[in-house]
Every structure is written in C-alpha cells, then in structure tokens.
Amino acid sequence: MFPSSPARLRRLLPVTAIALLLGACDSKHPEEEKAPAPNVSVETVRVQPLAISSELSGRIQAPRIAEVRARVAGVVLKREYREGSDVKQGDVLFRIDPAPFQADFDSARATLAKAEATRYQARLQDQRYAELIEINAVSRQDRDNARAAMMQADADIAAAKAAVERARLNLGYATVTAPISGRVGRALVTEGALVGQNESTPLAIIQQLDPIHADLTQSTREINALRRALRAGELQQVGQDQAKVTLIQDDGTPYPLAGKLLFSDISVDQSTGQITLRSEFPNPDLDLLPGSFIRVRLEQAVQPQGISVPQQAILRDSAGQPRVLLVDAEQRISERAVTLGSAQNNRWIVSDGLAPGDRVVTEGLQHVKAGDPVQITASAAGDQPIVQTTGQ
C-alpha cells in the first residue's frame, strides 16, 4: 500500500500535466486545410454591331379627322347612324327637313322655264328682223334692239340654270353624309335641333383609326449629337424606310405590329426646342386611340462595333460609380471602373472601360473581391442582339 500523503500527490501532478499537454499537441494537424476557391460565371466581352435607337414620347393622332357640319339651315329630322360605329364615305348620317329646299328647287326650275320661253320669243324676233333689215323694212336700231333682247335672254337662261344648281345643292345638303370613312363619335345634336343658323353647326366627328399616326418629339440636342457622330464615322445612318419603329405599351411590352417612320419636321418648336417626328402603325383592332400618350423606340443609327454586359454584372461603389469584376489569366479577381451608356434588353451598354476578350463576372459577385482566386463554372460570349437607347 502506497501512502497517500499530500507531499506525494504534489510530486505526481507535474508528470500528469506534461502527459496531457503532449496528447493535446498530437491531436492537432500541422496546418489547417485551405478552403476551396469560390465558383463564378463569366461572360467574355466581344464586339458586335449595336443598333442606336431613341425612346421618344408622343401622342396618338388620327391621320384624317372630319368634323361633320350642317351646310344648310333647318331642323334635324333624324339621325341615321349608330354612335361609335364605323361608317364609309357617303353613308347618310343626318337628315335635315328638306321641304323648304325642295320648294326653292321647284321655284328655280320654274324661273328657268320662264327664261327659256323668253329666249325663244327673242330668238324668233331676232331672226325676223334679220330678214327685214335686208329689204330695209325695219330700222337698224330695231334690228340692234332685237339682237340685244336675244342676248339678254341667253344671260337670263344662264342665271336661271345657276339658281337651279344652287337649289339642287341645298336640297342635297339636307341629307348629311360622311365625307370620309372611319369611326364616328357621339352625335353633337339631337332630332328637332335647329342647325345652320348663321353658322355651320357641328353635328359629329369622324376619325380614321387604321392605320394611325404617332407624333413624337425629340430634342435638337439629341439630334445634333447623333449627326456629329454620323459625320465622325462613329455611327452608320439607317435609311428612313429601314428604320425600325416599336411602340411601347402601358405595361412595358412592345406593340405586336411594327410601325414605320413617315417624316421628320423641318422646323423646331420655339417653346420646347424639339422637333416632331411622325410614325405610322397598323391598328386593325383599334387598340390605339387618338390622344393617348405613348412611348416609341425609334432606330436611328448603327454602331458597327459595340460592347455590352448583363445588368447583373454591374456593381456600384460608395460614390455610385459603375464597376465590374474581371477574371485575369491567373484566375484571380480584379476590379475595373467602366462608363455606361443606356440599358436595353437586360444589358448595359459599355462605352469605355472594357476591351474584347475581357472576362466579366456575371454570377457569384457577392462571394468574391479583388485579388481572390476563383474557379470558372460557366462562360459565355456576349452575342445577344443589343439595342442602345437614348432617352429625352
């Protein structure tokens, strides 16, 4: 039996502590294992043709607007059309009481008949006096009077015919017809209304809706910048017949039918400093209504060599400056400032800062920083169709 005195226990404690310390050292690895490099996706920058377009605002305008008015005075007897319907040129819209105009027409015809009878009598007398003057049976004065009477009768006939034509026109104006084909709006008068008293009373409005115009405005500053770039050879002109015109609907989706550019105005609005451009769109379903505010993307030029990157590849520093992360030849991350143009189709146009062949990080940006080694899991070339836009 060993004594269990306090002195012996004190001699054994240092030996136990050393053994425990050596055991703990043996349980540790010589060096900690390194974490694997994070995975990122990249897109290789490439140069490709870039369509330069401007997103302009404007309003829908009807190509033809006819304000139907009463051309004669009278009481409206009947409205012949259904409000909001489509009408064709020549369709009857209103009927004005024709009784007074019919009476005027009959009176004018009677006056014409009287004038014709008077001319008949004057012609016979002129013929007789022509024979009598040969044998000196009448004076030359009587002969001249007979000829003048016949000429006066001819003039009365012409005036009577003009009066008949005027009366016939007024009688026709009592039936109000559509001057153009289109969609007619609400009636501005009702049956029993007295119209045309000292003024041409408006009755209805007809508007042509298919095709329909979109009048756009663009600032002279943008137009001048575009012209300078074209003169410098940085851009190529797009012909008017080849210009692509896309209407952007209220929900942001493009209008399914493409339009065309008709013309650009030659004068500048002095109050706004803008120029009006007119485009035309098919409107078979009448989805586009006059007066509507719209946005139109108008292709105006082509940049032969352009660069773009996905929108998610752009980072912003504390000052709001755009930057991108690149993967270099050593598979390490580097950071570079870029200059952006406009965004279109989920891509940013890069006007400065990138060159063909650069590998831009598009996914996994939140897990890496400059100097970190990475592994590339996916790589793609920026070959999507790009359109650059310039806003007002």
Same domain, 218 and 244: yes
Residue 361's identity, in one-letter code, is V
Same domain, 138 and 122: yes
Residue 90: give its domain's CATH number.
2.40.50.100
**Owner of token pair 């209407």:** 247
Position 190 in a domain: yes
Position 239 in a domain: yes
Residue 41's identity, in one-letter code, is S
Same domain, 279 and 242: yes
Nearest to 303 by CA among 242, 188, 387, 180: 387
Same domain, 200 and 188: yes
Can you give the pLDDT of all 392 residues of the chain as single tens digits?
Answer: 444 455 554 555 455 555 554 455 454 454 445 678 888 888 888 888 777 677 788 888 999 999 999 999 999 999 999 998 899 999 999 999 999 999 999 999 999 999 999 999 888 888 888 888 788 887 888 888 888 988 998 999 999 999 999 999 999 999 999 999 999 989 999 999 999 888 888 999 999 998 999 888 877 777 677 677 666 665 555 555 556 788 888 787 888 888 888 877 777 877 777 888 888 899 888 888 888 888 888 776 666 677 888 888 889 888 888 998 998 888 888 888 988 876 666 777 787 888 888 888 988 888 888 888 888 887 776 544 444 444 44
Same domain, 221 and 192: no
Same domain, 283 and 213: yes
Same domain, 89 and 145: no
Tell me the torsion sign for CA atoms 289, 294, 299, 305: negative
What count of Cα atoms within 13 Å lies in the side-chain half-sphere of residue 345? 15
The predicted structure's pLDDT at residue 342: 66
Position 3 in a domain: no
Total of domains in the chain: 4
**Three-class DSSP labels, the chain:** CCCCCHHHHHHHHHHHHHHHHHHHHHHCCCCCCCCCCCEEEEEECCCEEEEEEEEEEEEEECCCEEEEECCCCEEEEEECCCCCCEECCCCEEEEECCHHHHHHHHHHHHHHHHHHHHHHHHHHHHHHHHHHHHHCCCCHHHHHHHHHHHHHHHHHHHHHHHHHHHHHHHHHHCEEECCCCEEECCCCCCCCCEECCCCCCEEEEEECCCCEEEEEEEEHHHHHHHHHHHHCCCCEECCCCCCCEEEECCCCCECCCCEEEEEECCCCCCCCCEEEEEEEECCCCCCCCCCCEEEEEEEEEEEEEECEEEHHHCEECCCCCEEEEEECCCCEEEEEECEEEEEECCEEEEEECCCCCCEEEEECHHHCCCCCECEEEEEEECCCCCEEEECC
Residue 231: give its domain's CATH number.
2.40.30.170
Nearest to 335 by CA among 380, 365, 377, 378: 365
Position 11 in a domain: no
What does R_g of the chain's alpha carbons equal in angstroms? 45
Query: Which of 254, 270, 303 delimits the end of a domain?
Result: 303
Position 134 in a domain: yes
Position 216 in a domain: yes
Same domain, 213 and 287: yes
Same domain, 130 and 191: no
Overall pTM surpassing 0.75 (yes/no) = no
Position 370 in a domain: yes
Same domain, 119 and 186: no
The CA-atom distances, in angstroms, between 20 and each of 6, 16, 27, 61, 294 are: 21, 6, 11, 93, 82
The predicted structure's pLDDT at residue 135: 83
The predicted structure's pLDDT at residue 28: 46
Q: 200: domain range?
A: 80-96+174-207
Same domain, 120 and 195: no
Rounded to an integer, what distance in angstroms lies between the CA atom of residue 76 and that of residue 81? 13
The predicted structure's pLDDT at residue 385: 43
Query: Which of 122, 156, 172 delimits the end of a domain?
Result: 172
Position 73 in a domain: no
Query: Which of 251, 284, 303 delimits the end of a domain?
Result: 303
Same domain, 117 and 58: no
The predicted structure's pLDDT at residue 303: 64
Residue 328: give its domain's CATH number.
2.40.420.20
